[in-house]
Amino acid sequence: MTPLFPALSDDPSSRPALRFGERSLTYAELAAAAGAVAGRVRGAGRVAVWATPSLETAVGVVGVLLAGAAAVPLNPKSGDKELGHILSDSAPALVLAAPGAELPAPLRRLRRIDVDAGSGSDVRGGTGASAGAVDEEEPALVVYTSGTTGPPKGAVIPRRAIATTLDALADAWQWTEQDVLVHGLPLFHVHGLVLGVLGPLRRGGSVRHLGRFDTQGVTRELSSGATMLFGVPTMYHRIAEALPADPVLAKALAGARLLVSGSAALPVHDHERIAAATGRRVVERYGMTETLMNTAVRADGEARAGTVGVPLPGVELRLVEDDGSVVDALDGESVGEIQVRGPNLFTEYLNRPDATAAAFTADGWFRTGDVAVRDPDGYVRIVGRKATDLIKSGGYKIGAGEIENALLEHPAVREAAVTGEPDADLGERIVAWVVPADPESPPREGELADHVAGRLAPHKRPRVVRYLDALPRNDMGKIMKRALPS
Ligand code: MCA
Ligand code: AMP
């Protein structure tokens, strides 16, 4: 197999590779900076990366990959409990961080390497850019992803899956070294890191990261040479909201080659508002941490609102009913769980053979838990999700059980249940149903939000708290979430 980043091997050019705010690196500079990281982490096994939205994160991850090691990207807003779990589960040999970044206590026990992302280094100073061949089945990333219950699981993503998914997207989107991608996604998940950073680098193109998403940044970059935009539906919702009063944004979007949404369903209303204001249709692609990308609306296909397009090259996709029978109909109404097979899939959940086994059928199909229909021309429409205890908020997957456990650790909470409610901005918002330990002095809403944000992560905090005298339970004592007052 070719190296993950052909543009970094041989004779890297002075073409732009990465830009974060005012700071940027050419391919030659990136080869030197990431090569230097590679030289220091070679043989390290798993390497934690303090994944702030910065040049250092991109250089650090590329360096780890050049060295043939595996990167474990950490959300820099992780709370104590979540971070503790990820560190004990993944047992990284060391941590990479930007110089001066303050790391929380559990990370201070690890050996730290500051990533020097300074430009202008001597290309030959790097020792790792042309590292020897690494087996494509070797882990490249361990990305933590929430399930319905318990702490997040580490999805082990091999190098083969990254190369496969990025090349399939290149085919679907005619994505080349001429493309300049703009986005403001976090770098500790697949969307922002694999598609948004490793994607442009595999093509030999470039990425401009906004630091944090806002419509002004999108306007600025798309008006000055950027060709593609990646975002979650919340970002496109905010764009749709801003468009009526922002003709410059409309013009910038109209000039883009490709606008791509993913991580959750893009509401048809937002899709149509953007199309009406810009004349451009957003294309959707469907993926998962465990599978990377499965389907996409192709650049040469019809960008139909409400669909995630067709299976990518190399991806086998089928719909399966609850009784295991395969749904063959392409009729836009026969519903089944999406199961996928192909070289885009992860290897396993780290240290969780039980969960890995449960995720696959006997004949090797991965059960996504997403429920869909297929149109006569094969376009996939996602219509729901099997597990009600998984919430997608702002494009983040969040397990209800994880938040319930955190809430129950608050002394003023006796019982807790967590659900997702429709939200125009976030897709779904997290709602906590709480039975206070003392009904006379229930915990304040903000206190519970801070408690969850501090233990898990801010995006997992409840946006609404509702107080009850008791949770509805069945005869077995199990909480009946469907019986919660709507
Ligand atoms: C507010 N904040 C708090 C609290 N309240 N912090 C601590 N404690 C509190 N009680 C902070 C937040 O941390 C945040 O800080 C700021 O206040 C605003 O919070 P919030 O409203 O939650 O954030 P937002 O700005 O509205 O976020 C919307 C967003 C975000 C930007 C769209 O949801 C986002 O980045 N989503 C992307 C998710 C993603 O990449 N998913 C990919 C996984 P600050 O402003 O400093 O941050 S899915 C995937 O990878 C698969 C493969 C796929 O298909 O793509
Ligand atoms: P994650 O586990 O965080 O990687 O999230 C993966 C999940 O995001 C999938 O199982 C889907 O439920 C959802 N998802 C990703 N892309 C889309 C999309 N374009 N439309 C609907 N849901 C999506």
pLDDT in tens, 68-120: 999 999 999 999 999 999 999 999 999 999 999 999 999 999 999 999 998 65
Please give the Cα distance from 303 to 371 (Å, whole number).
Answer: 21
pLDDT in tens, 403-435: 999 999 999 999 999 999 999 999 999 999 999
pLDDT in tens, 142-196: 999 998 888 999 999 999 999 999 999 999 999 999 999 999 999 999 999 999 9
**Tokens describing residue 271:** 């899709």
213: amino acid identity, one letter:
F
Q: How far is the CA of 447 from the centre of ligand 2 (A)?
A: 30
pLDDT at 132: 62
* Backbone phi, psi, residue 287, to 5°: -150, -175
The CB of 145 under 6 Å from ligand 2? The reply is yes
Please give the Cα distance from 54 to 117 (Å, whole number).
Answer: 10
pLDDT in tens, 362-406: 999 999 999 999 999 999 999 999 998 999 999 999 999 999 999
In angstroms, what CA-CA distances link 115 with 49, 107, 119, 123, 257? 10, 16, 12, 16, 33
Query: Residue 257 above 50 pLDDT?
Result: yes
Nearest alpha-carbon partner for 234 in 186, 266, 276, 273: 266
Query: Beta-carbon neighbour count of residue 331 at 10 Å?
Result: 11
Which residues touch 260 (CB under 8 Å, ≥6 apart)? 173, 228, 229, 230, 231, 282, 283, 284, 285
For ligand 1, atom 55, the nearest C-alpha belongs to 263
Please give the Cα distance from 439 to 479 (Å, whole number).
Answer: 20
Q: Domains of the chain (ranges plus CATH)? A: 6-201 (3.40.50.12780), 390-483 (3.30.300.30)
pLDDT at 122: 47
- The strand pair at 70-74 and 228-231 is best described as unpaired
Q: Mean pLDDT, to the nearest integer, of 254-275? A: 98
Mean pLDDT over all residues of the chain?
A: 95
CB 358 within 8 A of CB 366: no
- Tell me the best of 263, 291, 423 to mutate to test the pocket of ligand 1, counting ligand atoms within 8 Å of each CB and taking the most: 263
> Over pLDDT 90: what percentage of the chain?
94
Query: Beta-carbon neighbour count of residue 40 at 10 Å?
Result: 16
pLDDT at 124: 44
Nearest alpha-carbon partner for 450 in 407, 412, 398: 407
CB 178 within 8 A of CB 149: no
Structure confidence at residue 479 as a pLDDT band (50, 70, 90): very high
Residue with tokens 């294309």: 283
In angstroms, what CA-CA distances link 235 with 12, 393, 465? 34, 12, 25
**Tokens describing residue 391:** 């919430």
- Tell me the best of 230, 366, 459, 461 to mutate to test the pocket of ligand 1, counting ligand atoms within 8 Å of each CB and taking the most: 459
The CB of 200 under 6 Å from ligand 1? The reply is no
Q: How far is the CA of 182 from the centre of ligand 1 (A)?
A: 18
Q: How far is the CA of 409 from the centre of ligand 2 (A)?
A: 29
Q: Residue 189: nearest ligand to its CA?
A: 1
Q: Residue 398: nearest ligand to its CA?
A: 2
